[in-house]
Structure 1
């Protein structure tokens, strides 16, 4: 499991182990890998580390993001392309050399054959590396993912302690289909067997709503209702451009573009191929986010 210490990857690891799979987590933290059983060191930026990381694996599951995702830091090679695009190509080569049978890649909804934005360009490059690898291949494209360890809704709920209002770009009118992270883990666990489905699948929850509605509901549930204030995209983009040169910026232009996307999924193929009951948004939030 490459990226198994992250939010989505961690949920996948839990689901696989609960279903009896032996899971080794590949981490870029060399010290952690050396000190704890069940971990191996592997750096998506260093192809020489990836062969030993996946040696002996039957299936490779990739859900690896760069640090501080989705806020890129090109000077450190922490970008969509270095991880989701070029990094996936490196990992595919290592997996094929190691005799891996199946490869599962966690991508994202919204990928098309002619993307113009860096996020989608990187994901498309990674998807093609997987589907053209000759391995048993599955690509899973999640919509907005939430859960107890997410860095989206939870970050906003924490920030609400200090904000009298909730600023959202473009009035939060983006359409979302939030999917609970445990549903992703359940699907991936079903995708391990040799006779399990291959191909590209989108996954989202059963509910569609605006970003504004999603955040307002979460804040009310957490006991921190806030009034939404519209931030014009042009103004937000100017602010992001000013913040980008700073170390550890709060926002970047690419991250802002990411936030302004609609994230909706066509789940018909997924539901025909896997035995999955998708979690309603309210039920998912109430399972962990209560006052």
Structure 2
């Protein structure tokens, strides 16, 4: 009987936030992992996730097809996790999330490998957001080269190293108020990074439908206001929540897109918040969800206290409110 150790999986973008969880999930299932990243010398943190020799990092850049083809050599499965929240230099939405996704798919097709591609629920070729349009273009390019590819569209992903909950918790530490763009009415279905990684591992195992698009969301649909309130409650901080109209938020984003750390906000991110980011009823009906893969998703309330404690005034030593 063939072992998973006989299968080499190439993960593009495997050193990032979602990537390290995917690497961990596949190592537990005893696959051999090749992590294709722009800076392999900075991927050493992945080594403890597997056994000696199980994980190997190589250099690859989605803007250079030859490097992608080399990273796919002898691999049986390709996973594309590469994505950016804001463009920078040559790393544009189109070059990375549209053309880059197509480059990976073409290399996978040439190698005769199966393809798993991670997109986003907001992917829409008619969206006012460049990010969302490039995600849709990437899906189209992937299916054009590999029609049997499995595509995952997660809602906003949270976890210990995310740029979502950590960002707002960090902002609450330095600011007396938190902005609610559009009044904080936008609906999201935050999904735990470990659950997304498990879904990808299930697809690698061949348990997901080929050519299908799965929408991945957590157990609850929450507004941005509710998420902010939850973060404040867990970090034990009292902050004002100030409604910010979309037009004013976009104007501020013209300047804040150059700001460092949690203050950074781009006009494109403002556009994304105009639309809800939740799992559709059609996906539920067709079983193209986490539950359809047999995965019971974790809630924010269950997971956030495990890592947001560091934003409390006394960190892990803070006493619960009301304690003696």
What TM-score, normalized to structure 2?
0.80
Confirm whether residue 41 of structure 1 aligns to residue 59 of structure 2.
Answer: yes
Deviates more, 1:110-119 or 1:49-58: 110-119
Q: Which has the higher contact order (CA 8 A, sep 6+)?
A: 1
> What are the superposed Cα offsets for residues 238-265 of structure 1, whole Å, 9 maximum, x if unpaired?
1222455789992221122124432111
Of residues 237, 242, 258, the one that matches 1:229 is 242
> What are the superposed Cα offsets for residues 215-234 of structure 1, whole Å, 9 maximum, x if unpaired?
11112111223220112211
Deviates more, 1:187-196 or 1:204-213: 187-196
The alpha-carbon distance between structure 1 residues 5 and 245, as it changes in their structure 2 partners (threshold 3 A), is closer
Say which SS state the counterpart of residue 120 (structure 1) adopts.
helix
The alpha-carbon distance between structure 1 residues 244 and 287, as it changes in their structure 2 partners (threshold 3 A), is closer
Q: Give yes or no for contact 2:80–2:118 (8 Å, CA) kept in 1.
A: yes
Q: Give yes or no for contact 1:72–1:252 (8 Å, CA) kept in 2.
A: no
Confirm whether residue 23 of structure 1 aligns to residue 33 of structure 2.
Answer: yes
- Tell me the CA shift for residue 162 of structure 1: 1.0
CA distance in 2 between partners of 1:221 and 1:59 (Å): 40
Provide the residue aligned with 2:97 in structure 1: 84
Q: How many residues align?
A: 284
CA distance in 2 between partners of 1:153 and 1:213 (Å): 12
For residues 1-291 of structure 1, the aligned pairs below 5 Å read 1-32=11-42, 38-66=56-84, 70-73=85-88, 76-100=89-113, 102-112=114-124, 114-134=126-146, 136-194=148-206, 196-198=208-210, 199-244=212-257, 250-266=264-280, 268=284, 269=287, 270-271=289-290, 273-290=292-309, 291=312
Q: Give yes or no for contact 1:216–1:225 (8 Å, CA) kept in 2.
A: no
**Ranges in structure 2 where 5+ consecutive residues have no aligned partner:** 1-10, 48-54, 313-324
CA distance in 1 between partners of 2:260 and 2:302 (Å): 38
What TM-score, normalized to structure 1?
0.89
Say which SS state the counterpart of residue 124 (structure 1) adopts.
helix
> What are the superposed Cα offsets for residues 97-126 of structure 1, whole Å, 9 maximum, x if unpaired?
2232x1111111133464443122111111
The alpha-carbon distance between structure 1 residues 205 and 195, as it changes in their structure 2 partners (threshold 3 A), is closer
The alpha-carbon distance between structure 1 residues 32 and 242, as it changes in their structure 2 partners (threshold 3 A), is closer
Structure with greater Cα Rg: 2
- Tell me the CA shift for residue 154 of structure 1: 0.4
**Ranges in structure 1 where 5+ consecutive residues have no aligned partner:** none
How much is the aligned-residue C-alpha RMSD, in angstroms? 2.3
Q: Give yes or no for contact 1:27–1:43 (8 Å, CA) kept in 2.
A: yes
The alpha-carbon distance between structure 1 residues 11 and 254, as it changes in their structure 2 partners (threshold 3 A), is same
Q: Give yes or no for contact 1:139–1:200 (8 Å, CA) kept in 2.
A: yes
CA distance in 1 between partners of 2:236 and 2:72 (Å): 45
- Tell me the CA shift for residue 281 of structure 1: 2.3
